[in-house]
Homo-oligomer: A and B are copies of this chain.
Amino acid sequence: MTTARAPYYLDCDTGIDDALAIGYLLAAAADETAGIEIVGIGSVSGNVSASVGAYNTLDLLALAGAAGIPVAIGAHDPQGGSFRGGAPHVHGANGVGDVEIDKSDVAVSAESAAELLVRLAHEHEGELRVIAIGPLTNIAEALRLDPELPGLVKELTLMGGAARVPGNITPVAEANIANDADAAAEVFAAEWFITMVPLDVTMTNVFLEHHRQTLIDSGRPVATALGHMLDYYFEFYVGVYGHRASALHDPLAVAIALGEVALKTAPVVRVLVDDTAGPGRGQTICDLRGSYNGFPEQSNAHTRVVLELESDFAPVLLARLLTA
């Protein structure tokens, strides 16, 4: 007897924390009790170019022995501008902390990421879960390719934005949203159920040096590679936290999409993205005015904003990665 597993599409800009997220997702997919299947991965320019992100992803899949998952290159440029070279100061010149991983011999998909997403949404109508951990350019493109997409997709979980904490690109804007604010505005305006995993929770759940050493000491190929990548990421975050550590942006979004993290405060509220040219550009404006009164229900709200977790995410992530 075969039990259907829940199908997931991942959109990413791999990226060190994307690599952690892919490691988490692969480990969960390999765990039959998790009941999930990765049916496709698209790349988008963000931390690195869409092309580099796709090849980094293929290499990680090969390292994990999961080379059969289709990987499609997505949008190189944000909707209203040009890709500006990513964040090599955060993720290293090659996007994975300058760690060398064996090149996969698998080719990228002939489809674009947006085309892959639309096809998968039809093939798995009503069942496909979408996880977006990069800028939302591909998701917005898919919405334009097929305006019926929100009705086909079961839910969208995304890493991005900031609700009650500062941004990381401007005082109010987080990188994934800011890198394509126009696309993000379209995605948040579309009528699907979104779970937004903002800096509020991704900055306060961190890996420290002992987590990193445990990954390296595991001797497992993916876990060890991730531990080495984190060396680069930890150095960047000294300027943020005042000590070596890493925020757990993307893997937390994956874990929440998989329902493997308990949420303490996560109201469903109206969210819109500031897509003006003003100082607020790229901000996720969340209507949290109900916060003094237990967040009364809001009309037309379809975004769950994760503000607090029940407990620290780092042990959950570490446990999964040690099986990766």
Contacts and interface: CB of A to CB of B under 8 A. Distances in A.
A291 interface: yes
Contacts of A283: 172, 280
Interface in A225-262: 240-242
A105 to B, nearest CB: 42
A168 interface: yes
A218 interface: no
Contacts of A203: 292
Contact of A164 (B164, B170, B241, B276): B164
Given A242-B293, A293-B241, A274 B279 contact: yes
**For A164, A275, A280, A286, which residue has the most chain B Cβ atoms within 10 angstroms?**
A280
Given A165-B164, A293-B241, A171 B280 contact: no
A80 interface: no
B272 A166 contact: no
A241 B287 CA distance: 16
A167 interface: yes
A57 to B, nearest CB: 29
A289 interface: yes
Contacts of A165: 164, 288, 291
Nearest to A242: B293
Nearest to A237: B292
Contact of A276 (B171, B278, B288, B292): B278
Nearest to A185: B279
B280 A274 contact: yes
Interface string A278-317: 1110010111110111100000000000000000000000
Contacts of A285: 170-172, 279-280
Nearest to A271: B171
Interface in A119-150: none
B288 A171 contact: yes
Nearest to A276: B278
Contacts of A270: 171
List 10 tightest A-B contacts by C-beta distance, closest first: A280-B280, A276-B278, A171-B287, A242-B293, A166-B288, A166-B289, A274-B280, A276-B276, A171-B285, A241-B292
Interface of A: 164-168, 170-172, 203, 240-242, 270, 272, 274-280, 283, 285-289, 291-294
Given A171-B287, A172-B285, A275-B278, 4 more contacts: A171-B270, A203-B292, A242-B292, A276-B279
